[in-house]
Structure 1
Amino acid sequence: MGVSIVDVAAQANVSTATVSRALRGLPRVSESTRAKVLATAQSLGYVASPSASGLASGRTRTVGVLVPFLDRWYFGHVIEGMDQVLRDNGYNLLLFSLGGYRHGKMRRFTESMVRKQIDALVVLTLGLSAEELRQLHRTDIPLLSVGGPVEGCSGVYIDDGAAATAAVEHLIALGHRRIGYLRAGIQDEKNFEVPALRTIAFETALAKAGLELRPAWCMVGDFTVAEGQRAAARIFDAPGEQPTAIFSGSDEMALGLIFEAQRRGIRIPAQLSVVGIDDHEFSASAGLTTVGQKPLEHGKTAAGMLLAELGGTPHSLRETLMPFELMVRDTTAPPPR
């Protein structure tokens, strides 16, 4: 039987996690401990992995990204930004997809998914179960969340509550009092903190202005154009008076809403104002008023922080709030008289 990491740890009188970090050249291991682990591993003939280029570094020069979906606008742009910076610095990017909700309770992140494959891990705006979080932190590699908070990780993201508040307060300042909302589905708000933060901000802004929250004007989508169109149809088909403005929890749902309004002959913004959040690449062409963020820059910032951490710069991973901007275009105006 070959020599294992457990044998090296026992001989060096350190934990297996310390052996792993020392062999892979990761920070937070003293030089004396690293030297002892390397010497022990060499004397026992232990090699960290078949692809290891040498015990001196043990680095895979690969950063992993744990992502819930592969087909969402925000995720794609973050990954592109990270990849640009990592490639420029001789690193690779490795995706770990959890397949959305399709696998139900079978969806699981485990330490074994990433062991010996990566030097650091990014978690993309993802809610994890208690067991998944436990497995995540057992990896003992640098961790960073992007797009929203994840328990126990520093993160790179906007203040989603403040961004949503800016969108709703823009409508209120224009004079709107009957405001609807396209929100994320139950699964989204359960699995991601960001949609829930946007919903809380919407409800709080209405309450602060003394406005009524009308359930018939608050419909669920799933952050896609098609679901935004279907959610808008449910609002338009509801009996009684209609909202004069609608806040959408994502630009993609807002675009679907605009398509449905146009199909029905509802004039935007003369009869209905629409504001989104994100600044999707199609939003400017559609003239959509939105609260813009720059996911490409989020990805670049995250990659830079990880590279600094891997290079040994202390405190490189920190909570970082990125800027956002209310971008007033053609889809918002005062309500009709």
Structure 2
Amino acid sequence: MVSIDEVARLAGVSTATVSRALSGRGTVSEKTRRRVQEATEALGYVVSSRASSLASGRTRNVGVVVPFLDRWFFSTVLSGVSSALMRRGYDITLYNITADAAVRREVFADFLRRQRVDGVIAVSIELDEAETGQLLQLGLPVIAIGGPNPRLDTLTVDDHAVAQLATEHLLALGHRDIAHIGASPEFDMDFHIPTQRRAGFEKVLADAGIAPNPLYLEPADFTVDGGYRAAKQLLGRPGPRPTAIFAASDEMAIGAILAARDLGYRVPDDLSVIGIDGHELGDFFQLTTVDQFPLGQGERAAEALLTRLDDAAATQLDHAHLPFELVVRGTTARPASN
């Protein structure tokens, strides 16, 4: 196995300089850094994580706590976290909070206390007082995506405002008979995001003097299949039908598009559809959406944590708001009657 001393000899510098150049800590000229990098590549040298940990007191590992691993949104946020951390030479330990309460308790009471991570990122998990306290007792930087949590630094999307923006877009096109596909109660969990999005939807309608039609509200489970089944209900039952659907996620919106096509509706000629997220398939389906940049959410959370690790006195985030943006594509248009 190649040693750091061999790298130092080939690069013509001291072992301390090699250590500074590879860790990114300390002052090393760019010319010297390149020479060290060339030597490590020529020799195939890899920094020993154990030796690095002993020398710095760091594990160069970040714990990431997520509620789901099989949902597009969470996997995309994780991809952003991973990319930002890997650029700085950090690994990830993933903790999946399942529906099993005992597993959840074990994560906070045991796994995270083993001191194998330098910091923690919690993704869209509503932490109770005890769990928040357990995280703070670790004495490590903690960044939470989603909120509010007054005791933690959080990065939050205003879901009420996101839904308002989507609904205002449909109203601006001239739609008045607008249906909403939200979440069924069992999926309205952490931070009650579906409830906030429905509230934003209903507020815009109320401000426009439009009373929500109970027949135009359909629950689903934030999946393509759930959106498909909900749209089939909205469009297939007897009576008046909506001219537009606002789905609380892009995956449900895609399901609604597929259901409309199966029922003979032309999108957007007969029916407009808008979603929320910024799904990677949105461009393929030409889906109009409110993009909340999930990849960027993960990157920003990781960068905030790394800043805290580099400088314990760094300015705290407190409760920073994440950006979102209306992306108009081909699934929304003025209603046919107009």
Residues 284-323 of structure 1 aligned to structure 2 (within 5 Å): 284-312=283-311, 313-323=313-323
CA distance 1:196–1:134, shift in 2 (3 Å): farther
1-side partners of 2:74 and 2:195: how far apart?
Answer: 18
2-side partners of 1:142 and 1:286: how far apart?
Answer: 40
CA contact (8 A) 1:276 1:290 kept: yes
* 1:159 corresponds to 2:143: no
2-side partners of 1:223 and 1:141: how far apart?
Answer: 33
Match of 2:81 in 1: 82
Partner amino acid, structure 2, of 1:166: L
Deviations 1:201-257 (A, max 9, x none): 111111111111122211111211011111112212333211111100000000001
Partner amino acid, structure 2, of 1:64: G
CA distance 1:104–1:209, shift in 2 (3 Å): farther
> Gaps spanning 5+ residues in structure 2: where?
1-49
Q: What's the secondary structure of 1:276's corresponding residue?
A: strand
Match of 1:111 in 2: 109
Match of 2:133 in 1: 134
1-side partners of 2:130 and 2:318: how far apart?
Answer: 24
Deviation at 1:80, TM superposition (A): 1.2
May I ask how many residue pairs the two structures share in their alignment? Answer: 285
Partner amino acid, structure 2, of 1:233: K
Match of 2:227 in 1: 228
Deviation at 1:136, TM superposition (A): 3.0
CA contact (8 A) 2:124 2:190 kept: no
Q: What's the secondary structure of 2:110's corresponding residue?
A: helix
Residues 28-47 of structure 1 aligned to structure 2 (within 5 Å): none
1-side partners of 2:238 and 2:305: how far apart?
Answer: 53
> Gaps spanning 5+ residues in structure 1: where?
1-50
Deviations 1:53-83 (A, max 9, x none): 6666321111111100001122112111111
CA contact (8 A) 1:306 1:317 kept: no
TM-score relative to the length of structure 2: 0.78
Match of 2:267 in 1: 268
Q: What's the secondary structure of 2:296's corresponding residue?
A: helix
Match of 1:34 in 2: none
Q: What's the secondary structure of 1:268's corresponding residue?
A: coil
1-side partners of 2:299 and 2:189: how far apart?
Answer: 28
Q: What's the secondary structure of 1:257's corresponding residue?
A: helix
2-side partners of 1:107 and 1:91: how far apart?
Answer: 25
CA contact (8 A) 1:52 1:58 kept: no
Match of 1:335 in 2: 335
Q: What's the secondary structure of 1:305's corresponding residue?
A: helix
2-side partners of 1:183 and 1:105: how far apart?
Answer: 29
Match of 2:47 in 1: none
CA contact (8 A) 2:146 2:191 kept: no
Deviation at 1:121, TM superposition (A): 0.7
Percent pairwise identity: 42
2-side partners of 1:157 and 1:171: how far apart?
Answer: 25
Residues 16-95 of structure 1 aligned to structure 2 (within 5 Å): 57-95=56-94
CA contact (8 A) 1:52 1:59 kept: no
Deviation at 1:94, TM superposition (A): 1.1
Deviation at 1:319, TM superposition (A): 2.7
Match of 1:145 in 2: 144
Deviation at 1:320, TM superposition (A): 2.5
Match of 1:325 in 2: 325
Deviation at 1:104, TM superposition (A): 5.7
2-side partners of 1:81 and 1:65: how far apart?
Answer: 12
Match of 2:250 in 1: 251
Partner amino acid, structure 2, of 1:112: D
Deviations 1:300-329 (A, max 9, x none): 111111111011242244432222211111
2-side partners of 1:174 and 1:195: how far apart?
Answer: 24
CA distance 1:71–1:321, shift in 2 (3 Å): same
Deviation at 1:148, TM superposition (A): 4.5
Q: What's the secondary structure of 2:245's corresponding residue?
A: strand
Match of 1:21 in 2: none
CA RMSD in angstroms, aligned pairs only:
2.0
Deviation at 1:151, TM superposition (A): 4.6
2-side partners of 1:54 and 1:93: how far apart?
Answer: 15
Partner amino acid, structure 2, of 1:217: Y
2-side partners of 1:67 and 1:54: how far apart?
Answer: 26
Partner amino acid, structure 2, of 1:319: H
2-side partners of 1:195 and 1:146: how far apart?
Answer: 16
1-side partners of 2:274 and 2:252: how far apart?
Answer: 10
Deviation at 1:267, TM superposition (A): 1.4
Deviations 1:247-285 (A, max 9, x none): 000000000011011011011112111111112011111
Q: What's the secondary structure of 1:141's corresponding residue?
A: coil
